[in-house]
A and B are shown apart, each in its own frame.
Chain A
Amino acid sequence: MKEKKAGWKELPEGDVLEGASSLKFRTGNWRNRRPVHISERCINCFICWVSCPDGAVKVDSETGKFGHFDYDFCKGCGICAYECPKKAIEMVDDEG
């Protein structure tokens, strides 16, 4: 993500940051491979959800089942795919 950085003269001497404001900073473009969900194999155990350091595995709150990967933030580490007990996540090369 491109951002205009403030010069040191413009920075405050101390500051209070807004909670959860990192959601405005997308880390998805760090990724060079991405997880893809294979729903036929999924047993909705949520191991992938708890295994993501970036909170990028989303559970669907309505169905209570695996929802989606949040590609705005997923860094492509592959932990979710490694930990999935059913091999229901595949890592594929990412184009962009």
Chain B
Amino acid sequence: MPTLKQLAKREEHFVSGHRLCGGCGAGLVARMVMLAIEKPVIVGNATGCLEVASTIFPYSAWNVPWIHSAFENVAATVSGIEAAYRSLKRQGKIDKDIVFVALGGDGGTYDIGLQSLSGAAERGHKILYVCYNNEAYMNTGIQRSSATPRAAHTTTSPLGKVIPGKVQFPKDLPSIMVAHNIPYVATSIPGRWNDLVNKVEKAVTFDGFTFIDVLTPCRLGWPHEPELTMEISRLAVETCIWPLYEVVEGKYRLTYRPKEKKPVVEWFKPQRRFAHLFKPENQQLLEDIQKEIDKRWESLLKKCEG
């Protein structure tokens, strides 16, 4: 695990001049993931804010080989590159050790990209897939995804007279990835740089498909004050809404345990998409959410003990 002093000496592979919003969590995730990998690396990026804003023609913020794939198939695109690399290696035409990284938003990962993700995991390509999960389709103007939390207001789960924001709870994608029996699955946040760097470093050592789901604040869609990007991601951990854990060869381990579990409202407070939850008529909804979070947290703890 490198110190910040050591990290700061590394070359940046995701550089300034990209056009993500000021304070965008996705920029932090991209920078930290790239800083964590010292070997030569090839990156694939599904359509979404990170891809769009980092490669606006004719500029690119990446100084490694990088490819844009369609919204739904970054895992397939990078699978192809990795398979070609393995073939070239077998033929003795290349001897470099190369790391393959696929980056996708929650829309491109939990929803439309789930099939290609599952295929790549099942085939066992040696790829690190990082989902920067900002909990909605942000690049097209904040539509709900299967990662959007219950009660969040989005343009397709709008707060109104009939529904109080999104009706469903988010899909548990890390569990789906664990069910693929891949060697490494983890959750992370940008607000704990060492957690993310550590997990990326570890993930790329496995000989197989690895997956990290990073809860990634979006100051425009959640919306929150831009300086709170890292803090809000930590609040999700402290409230046990987004526990930090890893699953190595099927074995669960909590990588951080909050000293004192905070009530879920602490996470809702700084985000306007949840402002309506504080109205008296939504008291029951708030309690239901707390109950569900408690249930998911307890079930995770059991997995970590077992």
Contact = CB atoms under 8 A, between A and B. Distances in A.
A53 to B, nearest CB: 3
Interface string B8-44: 1100101111111111111110011001000000000
A46 B5 contact: yes
Interface string A42-80: 000111011111111001010010000010110111110
Given A18-B60, A79-B229, A79-B230, A27 B32 contact: no
Interface residues of B, number: 44
Given A20-B62, A30-B22, A50 B27 contact: no
Given A46-B5, A53-B20, A22 B227 contact: no
Among the interface residues B12, B24, B61, B231, which one has the most CB atoms of the partner chain A within 10 A? B61
A64 B19 CA distance: 29
Given A11-B57, A22-B60, A64-B5, A51 B193 contact: yes
A22 B226 contact: no
Contacts of A11: 57
Contact of B8 (A23, A46, A54, A82): A46
Interface in B51-97: 54-64
Given A46-B8, A50-B32, A64-B5, A23 B231 contact: no
Contact of A73 (B8, B17, B226, B228): B17
A65 to B, nearest CB: 10
A24 B27 contact: no
Given A79-B230, A82-B227, A50 B16 contact: no
B16 A46 contact: no
A47 to B, nearest CB: 7
Interface string B196-211: 0000000000000000
A26 B15 CA distance: 12
B16 A81 contact: no
B4 interface: yes
B70 to A, nearest CB: 14
Chain A interface, DSSP helix/strand/loop, else mixed? loop
B222 to A, nearest CB: 14
A83 interface: yes
A18 B58 CA distance: 8
Contacts of A50: 4, 7-8, 32, 35, 193
29 contacts: A17-B55, A17-B58, A18-B58, A19-B64, A20-B61, A21-B60, A22-B61, A23-B16, A27-B17, A45-B4, A46-B7, A46-B8, A50-B8, A50-B32, A50-B35, A51-B28, A51-B230, A53-B22, A55-B12, A64-B5, A72-B16, A75-B22, A75-B23, A77-B229, A78-B226, A79-B226, A79-B229, A79-B230, A83-B230
Interface of A: 11, 15, 17-27, 30-31, 45-47, 49-56, 59, 61, 64, 70, 72-73, 75-79, 81-83, 91
Interface of B: 4-5, 7-9, 12, 14-28, 31-32, 35, 54-64, 193, 219, 225-231
4 tightest A-B contacts by CB? A53-B27, A22-B17, A75-B22, A77-B23
Given A21-B60, A53-B20, 6 more contacts: A22-B60, A51-B28, A77-B229, A79-B226, A82-B230, A83-B230
